Amino acid sequence: MKENDFKGKLPAHKLPGGVYKWKAPSNIALVKYWGKRPPQIPANPSISLTLDHCATRTELHYEPLESASEDCQFEIFLDGVANDSFRPKIATFLERIAPYLPFTRHYKYRIETSNSFPHSSGIASSASGMAALSLCFLSLERELFPEMDESYFLRKASFLSRLGSGSASRSTEGPLMQWGYHKEVAGSSDLYAIKYPFPIHEIFRNFHDTILLVDKGSKQVSSTVGHQLMHDHPFAENRFLQAERNLEKLQPVLADGDLERFIAIVESEALALHAMMMTSSPYFMLMKPNTLEILNKIWAYRQETRRPVCFTLDAGANVHLLYPDHIAGEVQQWIKSELADFCENGQYIHDRVGAGATSI
Binding site for ligand DP6 (CB under 6 A): 29, 32-34, 40, 46, 124, 126, 165-167, 223-224, 227, 273, 314-315
Alpha-carbon distances, residue 183 vs 14, 45, 190 (angstroms): 43, 10, 12
Which residues, 6+ apart, have CB-to-CB distance to 266 below 8 Å? 30, 310, 311, 312, 322
User: Please, which residue, 25 or 107, has the CB nearer to ligand DP6?
Assistant: 25
Q: Which is nearer to ligand DP6, 43 or 273 (CB)?
A: 273
CA 204 and chain centroid, separation: 18
Nearer to ligand DP6, 139 or 167 (CB): 167
Residues 6+ apart with CB under 8 A from 16: 64
Measure the CA–CA gap between 48 and 53, rounded to whole angstroms: 15
> By Cβ distance, which residue is nearest to ligand DP6?
166
Q: How far is the CB of 360 from ligand DP6 (least distance, A)?
A: 24
CB of 14 to ligand DP6, least distance (A): 32
For ligand DP6, which is the closer residue by CB, 105 or 227?
A: 227
CB of 27 to ligand DP6, least distance (A): 7
Beta-ladder partners of 75? 110
**Of the two residues 62 and 100, which places its CB atom closer to ligand DP6 in the complex?**
100
Structural element, H or E, at residue 141: helix 126-144
Q: Pairing relation of β-strands 107-115 and 73-78?
A: parallel
CA distance 40 to 180: 11
What's the closest the beta carbon of residue 15 comes to ligand DP6, in angstroms? Answer: 30
Nearest distance in Å: CB 223, ligand DP6: 4
Nearer to ligand DP6, 219 or 302 (CB): 219
Q: Alpha-carbon distance 348 to 335, whole Å? A: 9
Query: Measured from the CB of residue 313, what is the shortest distance to ligand DP6 in angstroms?
Result: 8
Amino acid symbol at 228: Q
